[in-house]
Structure 1
Amino acid sequence: MYDIIVGVDTDVERARTQGAAIADLPGSEEINAILVHVFGGEGGDIESVDAVDEARSILEGAGVEITTEGIGGEPAIALLDAAARHDADCVCVAGRKRSPAGKAIFGSVTQDVIMGADRPTLVCSTDE
């Protein structure tokens, strides 16, 4: 089994892109996708996140095994901690287009995950 941590935010289109990218991987029926949504506080109900439902639907349709995890904290750190806790083979995040100034001022979860990961990282991008 190939374990992938999938960092899903609230954007349904990005979740759709992540789900499709993972579903298109060779041997998708041998993948366990751990859908992780990071809540700003101490946690929340992951079942109420529409983007998680979208990713789950696409992945289940491709025969991918799904588990979900809603956690609190700072997104990049929480995703990297989840990857370590599950000894994941890969981390999947969805990037969005930002100007260099926007990245410098607001930061980027995707960039922080890429820079902090000690395992392969799959970055999916929409046409935003």
Structure 2
Amino acid sequence: MYHVVIAVDEETDRARRQARAVADLPRSADEVRATLLHVFTENPGGASATQVGAVRRAEELLEEAGVEVDIAERSGEPAASVLDFADAEDADCICVGGRSRSPAGKAIFGSVSQSVILQADRPVLVTGGAASE
């Protein structure tokens, strides 16, 4: 079974593009297991990942495609949390959602996707930043 960790933030359209990319993998219904991972940077209300709309939409799309889905959550710095989780789970691939940003915006604010791509010791699948639906 090919295990993909899908790092999902609060952006529903991006999460749906990530889920669709994983569902479109060859033999996904038979041979792919996806874990939707949401990393809370702040969570004073004690919410769970299952309460995040983007996670729920991605889960629905994957289940409709017949992909086995788990949901996980972590707290902390997103890129490090994603990488640590993928390592602990011995994931085969990490899926991150790209977003359109200017070079200055990337330099000033950084990028979780960029950090994951540069630091991962396993394949990283990056979905597009523009809506294609």
TM over 0.5: yes
1:14 corresponds to: 14
Q: Does 1:92 align with 2:95?
A: yes
Query: Which of 55, 61, 66 is residue 63 of structure 1 equivalent to?
Result: 66
Q: TM-score, with normalisation over the residues of structure 1?
A: 0.96
Q: Does 1:37 align with 2:38?
A: yes
2:108 corresponds to: 105
In 1, Cα distance between equivalents of 2:59 and 2:75: 20
Alpha-carbon offset, residue 44 of structure 1: 3.6
In 2, Cα distance between equivalents of 1:59 and 1:46: 16
2:77 corresponds to: 74
Note the alpha carbon deviations across 1:72-95, whole angstroms, 9 max, x for none: 010000000010000000000001
Does the CA-based 8 Å contact 1:95-1:123 persist in structure 2?
Answer: yes
2:5 corresponds to: 5
Alpha-carbon offset, residue 116 of structure 1: 0.5
In 1, Cα distance between equivalents of 2:111 and 2:101: 9
Among the aligned pairs, what percent are the same residue?
Answer: 52
Which letter does structure 2 place at the counterpart of 1:28? Answer: S
Gaps spanning 5+ residues in structure 1: where? none
Alpha-carbon offset, residue 41 of structure 1: 3.5
Does the CA-based 8 Å contact 1:44-1:71 persist in structure 2?
Answer: no
Give the alignment's Cα RMSD to 1 decimal: 1.2
Alpha-carbon offset, residue 17 of structure 1: 0.3
Q: How many residues align?
A: 128
Alpha-carbon offset, residue 37 of structure 1: 0.1
Gaps spanning 5+ residues in structure 2: where? none
Runs of 4+ in structure 1 deviating by more than 3 angstroms, as ranges, are 41-44
